[in-house]
Structure formats: C-alpha cells, structure tokens
Amino acid sequence: MIFDLVKQSLKSPRVLIPVEELLGNAQGSRMPEVKPALLTITIAERIVAACPTAALALEKTETGSFLTLDYGDCIGCGRCHASGDGAVVRAQRLLCCGVGRSALVKRWDLRNGKEVLAEEEKLASTAGKIRALLGRALNIRQVDSGSCNGCEAEITALSNPYYDLERFGIHFVASPRHADMLLVTGPVTRNMAEAVKQTYAATPSPKLVVAVGACGTGGGIFCGSHAIVGGVDSVIPVDGYIPGCPPTPAMLLTGILHVLRADRIFRRHAPSAGPEIVSKR
Ligand code: SF4
Ligand code: SF4
C-alpha cells in the first residue's frame, strides 16, 4: 500500500504556492482593512467602542477627527468588521508585516476619508550587512517567550511543502549560535525574560530580531498580566514586527522577507507594494 501511495504521489503534478500569491497575503488572518471613503464619525465611534484591545482609537481635534488603527494591538477578533457597516472588512492583503513599530499604526482623516501618510521607512543597516554576508540565505532561531503556541502552529506551517520556506534559502536552526535572526513569539513572561536576553546575547552579530504576533508586539491579550514583562522590545531590540493573532504563514513569510529587505523579491513579485509608507501618529 505504501508503494501505491508513493507511485500516486510521484504521478501528481507538483503544487507549490507561487511567491506572488504569498507576499502581502492576509487571507484567513481576520485582520481588518478600513475603507476610508465609507467611514463616518458614527461608524468610527461604533467600531472604536467594539474593539476589545483599544487597537482602534478616535481622536477629535480642532483640525478634524482622525481614526487610528494600531495593527500591533489588533487580535483579529472581527468585531469591527461586524459593526463597521462595510467601512471595515477582512483584509485580503496586508503589507505592514516585518515593519517598524510605528509603521503598524495607520491613521485616517475622517473629513476627507484619506489616509494620513508620512515618510518612507529607512532601511535597516543590519539587514544590509546580513544580506551582504549571506546573500538571501538566512538562519532563524525561533524563540517562544511565553506564547499560547498559536503563533508556533503557523510558524511550523512555513516548513511544509505548501509554503516551503527553504526555497528562499531560509532555514530554522536549533541554536542561537547558528542564527542570523531570532523569531520571537509570545508576550515575554517574567520566567522567560532572562532566557530571551541570553539567547539574544548568544546570537552572533549582525543579527535581526522579529517580534511575532500581537503578543510579541506589545503583550497582546496578556497585556497587563502580572506574569509578563511586555512585548519582545521590552527586553531586547526589535527590527521588525509581524502583526496578527496569530499571523498566517503568508504574513510571517512577508514579514521575514521584509525585515531581511529582500527587495529584489518584493520588487519582482509585489510591485504594487511599493515603498513602505508609515502613518504619522
Ligand atoms: S479586529 Fe482588531 S481592530 Fe477590529 S475590533 Fe478586533 S482587535 Fe479591534
Ligand atoms: S499573538 Fe495570539 S496566537 Fe500568538 S501567542 Fe499571542 S495569543 Fe497566541
């Protein structure tokens, strides 16, 4: 029977998800996408009231009203989609994966329904050094600093034949001493804080750190617990954040490549992404 399965598998066409379908793909993440043209003050007030993590905020100033969405605090609960009257939908694409913390915050002017944009994000010099040393090859050490394992389940999927992370020259390694990047999940618990610091110290320079999920970004749903210290950046420096609870494998891959500044891949496969635009706070 096993031989029948092997024969059948060899006859099947190879199916590998194309990179252009992966980059920026947020399907299944339940992350929100705001349709600013449909936003009104009433809808903004309603979705802000519905948000359990204060990821959404409404700011009324003398110059106007602004809606802010912090993807780093969003847990993808979907309440804003349900109460947004079409002004908030499930995101199909999300390009702010693997970006700096401030780039996770989007802001819209409710008077004209337009996003408030700021300068292009600067490229990190560490990523440049790693790229110069290794081309596109990258060794990742995954560190669980106290997660619920939801993020790990998605990270594990990166190595399956469907997402096939290794086709990009990216591998998971067992020791921080062999790593170029630490992929850190979970809110940092008090018990794990020292271990995270030691893991960072054991990783040779140049090195990159990516905080994964709402927990890694700022503590997520565990924020305020006596048992946690906070997000990953409360104990070690972070180069990029990947939002979501949990982020999908496609979002993880987008974030890892973005942090590595694998620009050639982005330009070739996601030209619409363009330069990363960050919102002014
Ligand atoms: S999906 Fe995110 S932004 Fe929307 S209500 Fe839930 S936590 Fe808030
Ligand atoms: S971000 Fe969500 S899935 Fe990931 S560790 Fe935190 S609670 Fe779990």
Do 248 and 172 lie in one domain? The reply is yes
Do 149 and 268 lie in one domain? The reply is yes
Do 153 and 51 lie in one domain? The reply is no
- What's the CA-to-centroid distance between 127 and ligand 1, angstroms? 31
CATH of the domain at 131: 3.40.50.12280
- What's the CA-to-centroid distance between 178 and ligand 2, angstroms? 26
Question: What gap in Å lies between CA 182 and CA 216, rounded to an integer?
Answer: 12
In a domain, 23, yes or no: no
Q: Whose CA is nearest to atom 5 of ligand 1?
A: 51
Do 169 and 245 lie in one domain? The reply is yes
In a domain, 13, yes or no: no
Q: Whose CA is nearest to atom 2 of ligand 2?
A: 245
* Owning domain of residue 250: 125-272
**208: helix, strand or coil:** strand
Q: Are 121 and 95 in contact (CB under 8 A)?
A: no
- What's the CA-to-centroid distance between 76 and ligand 1, angstroms? 5
Do 190 and 255 lie in one domain? The reply is yes
Quote the pLDDT of residue 130.
62
Ligand nearest to the CA of 216: 2
Q: Are 43 and 84 in contact (CB under 8 A)?
A: yes
Q: Are 212 and 183 in contact (CB under 8 A)?
A: yes
Do 231 and 139 lie in one domain? The reply is yes
> Looking up tokens 């913390």, which residue turns up?
101
In a domain, 204, yes or no: yes
User: Can you give the pLDDT of all 281 residues of the chain as single tens digits?
Assistant: 677 877 777 776 666 677 778 888 999 999 999 999 999 999 999 999 999 999 999 998 888 889 999 999 999 999 999 999 999 999 999 988 988 898 999 999 988 888 887 644 444 566 666 666 556 678 999 999 999 999 999 999 999 888 888 888 899 999 999 999 999 999 999 999 999 999 999 999 889 999 999 999 999 999 889 999 999 999 999 999 999 999 999 999 999 988 887 544 444 444 444 333 333 33
Quote the pLDDT of residue 3.
78
Do 264 and 130 lie in one domain? The reply is yes
Q: Which two tokens stand for residue 60?
A: 């009324």
Question: What gap in Å lies between CA 63 and CA 60, rounded to an integer?
Answer: 8
In a domain, 223, yes or no: yes
Do 86 and 217 lie in one domain? The reply is no
Kind of pairing between the strands at 181-185 and 138-144: parallel
Quote the pLDDT of residue 176.
94
- What's the CA-to-centroid distance between 152 and ligand 2, angstroms? 9
- CA angle 31/35/36 to nearest 5° reads 125
Quote the pLDDT of residue 153.
96
Sign of CA dihedral 191, 194, 200, 204: negative
Nearest to 216 by CA among 152, 126, 168: 152
Question: What gap in Å lies between CA 42 and CA 48, rounded to an integer?
Answer: 10
Atom of ligand 1 nearest to the CA of 47: 5
Do 139 and 196 lie in one domain? The reply is yes
Do 261 and 171 lie in one domain? The reply is yes
CATH of the domain at 80: 3.30.70
In a domain, 142, yes or no: yes
Q: Are 266 and 126 in contact (CB under 8 A)?
A: no
Question: What gap in Å lies between CA 112 and CA 39, rounded to an integer?
Answer: 10
Helices first, then strands: H and E counts in the chain: 10, 15
In a domain, 37, yes or no: yes
Quote the pLDDT of residue 200.
96
